[in-house]
Chains A and B, each alone.
Chain A
Amino acid sequence: MFEARLGQATILKKILDAIKDLLNEGTFDCSDSGIQLQAMDNSHVSLVSLTLRSDGFDKFRCDRNLSMGMNLGSMAKILKCANNEDNVTIKAQDNADTVTIMFESANQEKVSDYGMKLMNLDQEHLGIPETDYSCVVRMPAMEFARICRDLAQFSESVVICCTKEGVKFSASGDVGTANIKLAQTGNVDKEEEAVIIEMQEPVTLTFACRYLNAFTKATPLSTQVQLSMCADVPLVVEYRINELGHIRYYLAPKIED
């Protein structure tokens, strides 16, 4: 028996919004410790890794490890039927071929349940090695989303250059060139507005705007985003989900032909 309950459906809606542009389907691996999903997009350029800890749920029960392959478009349709403030419960029997998603209004006067067929997905799990990143940047998630959106107008690629002074995002194309520099915040009054850089070595890497923009669909989940970079390894873009877990996106850099 698997049962996981969250106080507000809005969190689950935001999580789904953050992954459904990159993935058509995904396998939710459920265990004692929580729910994990790891999946590459169809082109094998980026990877989504979602972790939801069991202690972040209002109720969590997982008697046996369970892998639930879900069509994320179908799940999005079901979640549209929930009000943001509804409680949401995800339930499945062991070895079941369906999952039940139940919504309850705060006053318990409206209860709805939706059944969805599970899928058997070929899982391509990637082993992600521990990496000492040369630069780790923490910055407001809204600012990162704004920069990615703005620079996508100029080029398909954005160059991220990080030094200890700051981080620079650049793009150039037919329209012209664009450079956006963010300095490290001097005095951190409000942590959620800070730009913080931990640098071992400066790094310059090129990434596809299209994917960065897809990652920023997670912006409603977190006030800050963390970018971890190292020469010749994929970028990690991490959004923490308050008291529940995190979503990490990995993106292979573009390399000179």
Chain B
Amino acid sequence: TPIQNDLTEYFSLV
């Protein structure tokens, strides 16, 4: 089953 990635993997915290 696919796993859920975290948004912060794609967008950086500013």
In whole Å, how far is A3's beta carbon from the nearest beta carbon of chain B? 29
A-B contact pairs, 20 of them (CB 8 A): A43-B6, A44-B6, A44-B8, A45-B6, A45-B7, A47-B7, A127-B11, A127-B12, A127-B13, A232-B10, A234-B11, A251-B7, A252-B4, A252-B6, A252-B7, A252-B9, A254-B5, A255-B3, A257-B1, A257-B3
Q: Which of B6, B10, B12 has the most CB of A within 10 A?
A: B10
Residues in A whose Cβ lies below 8 Å from that of B9: 252
CB under 8 Å from chain B, chain A span 25-48: 40, 43-47
- Asked whether A253 lies within 8 Å of B14 as measured between CB atoms, the reply is no
- Asked whether A206 lies within 8 Å of B5 as measured between CB atoms, the reply is no
- Asked whether B2 lies within 8 Å of A254 as measured between CB atoms, the reply is yes
Q: How far is B8's CA from A2's CA once the two chains are assembled, in angstroms?
A: 33
Q: How far is B3's CA from A108's CA once the two chains are assembled, in angstroms?
A: 54
- Asked whether B7 lies within 8 Å of A233 as measured between CB atoms, the reply is no
A142 at the interface (CB under 8 A from B): no
- Asked whether B1 lies within 8 Å of A46 as measured between CB atoms, the reply is no
Residue of A nearest to B12 (CB): A127
Name B4's contact: one of A45, A128, A233, A250 (CB within 8 Å): A45
- Asked whether B2 lies within 8 Å of A252 as measured between CB atoms, the reply is no
Q: Which of B3, B4, B8, B13 has the most CB of A within 10 A?
A: B4
- Asked whether A250 lies within 8 Å of B14 as measured between CB atoms, the reply is no
Residues in B whose Cβ lies below 8 Å from that of A126: 7-8, 11-14
Q: How far is B1's CA from A127's CA once the two chains are assembled, in angstroms?
A: 29
Residues of A with Cβ closer than 8 Å to B? 40, 43-47, 124-129, 157, 206, 208, 232-234, 250-257
Q: How far is B5's CA from A200's CA once the two chains are assembled, in angstroms?
A: 25
A255-B2, A256-B2, A257-B1 are contacts. A40–B10 as well, Cβ < 8 Å?
Answer: no
Residue of B nearest to A131 (CB): B10
Seed contacts A234-B11, A255-B5; 11 additional CB < 8 Å A-B pairs:
A44-B8, A45-B7, A126-B7, A126-B8, A126-B14, A208-B4, A232-B10, A233-B10, A234-B7, A252-B6, A257-B3
Q: How far is B11's CA from A250's CA once the two chains are assembled, in angstroms?
A: 10
- Asked whether A44 lies within 8 Å of B7 as measured between CB atoms, the reply is yes
Residues in A whose Cβ lies below 8 Å from that of B2: 157, 206, 254-257
Residue of B nearest to A44 (CB): B6
